[in-house]
């Protein structure tokens, strides 16, 4: 079946559950402890039983799967074996000097990725967003802010990290503003009273509730398209692929044309069974990836690369 037909029919199914998805995505955060620091809070959302991802499986995926038989929904949390640190380029620090003299900061606190696969688990499409998490609606680290709001690229700080990437070099180019930069890199405001996804740049002050963001991600309307064929380009898909490799380092899987994402999909196989919903590397210096998997269990895609 044509990929565009499959995607359109998935969107049609998701539209019937819009209110449920938005409401329960907000409730998924309310199961968490907001006294935790940002890194611990997002990790809790990804991994802990009864919270976040596990809650979404019980309250969203299970309901949608029970309502129809064709599409299988599953949410998964991965805690990677490394946390990516970056160095801002000197050309950018001259224009917008960092408060941190080292010009070093974390790339992200959290990545969300939605992927649609066919009956054979071949990737049809996927979109991702990187987030900086904030427990208040204010900036306390302008090094990270300037990376998201102004910079056109960065270098990875650790050779041991970038040498293992598909690009095998430290330089990465960030998307331009006319190429979905605002939705590719966002801020996540996490308060017990309000959870909001805030578009870059910060001063634009354009945000909406996390539940609405999550619905838009599932319907392929936010984030930015990830293409495996561009994983060594040094651009957006390289950055996403770098994160996938941090998450799947010890996983096996079949290469169906998007190997690093295929590994994650295979690890959480059997998408109507939600018992296996997380992978924890056990490392202290990791970061969470939230994976939303949607499978068309009845059709094989005829044109996945188009």
pLDDT per position as a tens digit, 33-48: 999 999 999 999 999 9
What's the pLDDT band for 196 if we cut at 50, 70, 90?
A: very high
Residue whose structure tokens are 């998701």:
14
Look up residue 61 and give its DSSP letter: I
In a domain, 144, yes or no: yes
Give the pLDDT score at 248. Answer: 86
Tell me the mean pLDDT in the region 83-107: 95
Give the pLDDT score at 303. Answer: 84
Contact between 124 and 297 (Cβ < 8 Å) = no
pTM of the model: 0.97
For residue 306, is pLDDT > 90?
no
Give the pLDDT score at 141. Answer: 85
Pick from 42, 16, 19: nearest CA to 29: 42
Give the pLDDT score at 285. Answer: 86
Contacts of 99 (CB under 8 A, 6+ apart): 141, 142, 143
Pick from 67, 91, 63: nearest CA to 75: 63
What's the pLDDT band for 222 if we cut at 50, 70, 90?
A: very high
* pLDDT single digits (tens) 9-25: 999 999 999 999 999 99
In angstroms, rounded to a whole number, what is the distance separating the alpha carbons of residues 112 and 45? 12
Contact between 174 and 108 (Cβ < 8 Å) = no
Pick from 27, 25, 38, 35: nearest CA to 134: 38
Give the pLDDT score at 158. Answer: 94
Tell me the mean pLDDT in the region 222-251: 95
- Segments forming the whole domain that contains residue 129: 3-296
Contact between 174 and 185 (Cβ < 8 Å) = yes
* pLDDT single digits (tens) 131-158: 999 999 998 889 999 999 999 999 999 9
In a domain, 239, yes or no: yes
For residue 223, is pLDDT > 80?
yes
Contact between 134 and 142 (Cβ < 8 Å) = no
Say how many C-beta atoms besides its own lie within 10 A of residue 2's C-beta. 12
What's the pLDDT band for 284 if we cut at 50, 70, 90?
A: confident
Average pLDDT, the chain: 96
For residue 224, is pLDDT > 70?
yes
What are the two backbone dihedrals, phi and then psi, of residue 267, each rounded to the nearest 5 degrees? -60, -35
Contacts of 156 (CB under 8 A, 6+ apart): 84, 85, 86, 87, 162, 165, 170, 172, 242
How is residue 198 written in tokens?
A: 């805030």
- Exposure on the CB side of residue 160, measured as CA atoms within 13 A: 3
Residues facing 133 on adjacent strands: 188
**Which segments of the chain does DSSP mark as H helices, in order?**
3-15, 18-30, 38-47, 52-56, 62-67, 90-95, 142-149, 159-162, 181-184, 210-218, 236-247, 259-267
In a domain, 186, yes or no: yes
* pLDDT single digits (tens) 112-137: 999 999 999 999 999 999 999 999 99
In a domain, 305, yes or no: no
In a domain, 304, yes or no: no
Counting DSSP H helices and E strands in the chain, the numbers are: 12, 13
Opening angle at CA 61, ends 213 and 223, nearest 5: 25
Contacts of 24 (CB under 8 A, 6+ apart): 55, 56, 59, 60, 211
Query: How many structural domains does the chain have?
Result: 1
* pLDDT single digits (tens) 46-60: 999 999 999 999 999
In a domain, 301, yes or no: no
Percent of the chain with pLDDT over 70: 100
In a domain, 303, yes or no: no
In a domain, 110, yes or no: yes
């Amino acid at each position: 079946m044509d990929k565009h037909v499959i995607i359109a029919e998935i969107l049609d199914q998701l539209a019937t559950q819009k209110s449920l998805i938005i409401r329960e995505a907000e409730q998924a955060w309310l199961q968490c402890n907001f006294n935790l620091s940002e890194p611990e809070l997002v990790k809790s959302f990804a991994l802990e039983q009864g919270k976040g991802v596990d809650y979404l499986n019980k309250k969203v995926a299970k309901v949608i799967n029970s309502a129809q038989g064709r599409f299988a929904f599953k949410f998964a949390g991965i805690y990677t074996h490394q946390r990516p640190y970056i160095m801002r380029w000197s050309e950018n620090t001259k224009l917008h000097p960092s408060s941190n003299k080292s010009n070093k900061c974390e790339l992200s606190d959290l990545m969300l990725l939605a992927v649609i696969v066919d009956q054979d688990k071949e990737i049809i499409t996927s979109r991702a967003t990187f987030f900086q998490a904030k427990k208040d609606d204010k900036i306390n680290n302008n090094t990270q802010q300037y990376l998201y709001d102004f910079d056109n690229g960065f270098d990875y700080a650790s050779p041991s990290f970038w040498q293992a990437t598909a690009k095998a070099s430290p330089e990465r180019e960030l998307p331009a503003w006319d190429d979905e930069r605002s939705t590719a890199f966002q801020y996540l405001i996490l308060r017990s009273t309000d959870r909001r996804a805030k578009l870059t740049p910060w001063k634009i002050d354009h945000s909406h509730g996390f539940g609405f963001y999550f619905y838009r991600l599932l319907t392929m309307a936010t984030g930015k398209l990830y293409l495996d064929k561009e994983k060594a380009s040094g651009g957006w898909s390289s950055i996403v692929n770098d994160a996938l490799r941090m998450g799947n380092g010890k996983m096996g899987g079949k290469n169906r044309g998007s190997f690093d994402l295929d590994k994650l999909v295979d690890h959480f196989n059997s998408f109507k069974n939600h018992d296996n919903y997380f992978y924890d590397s056990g490392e202290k210096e990791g970061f969470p990836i939230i994976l939303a998997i949607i499978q068309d269990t009845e059709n094989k895609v005829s044109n996945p690369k188009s």
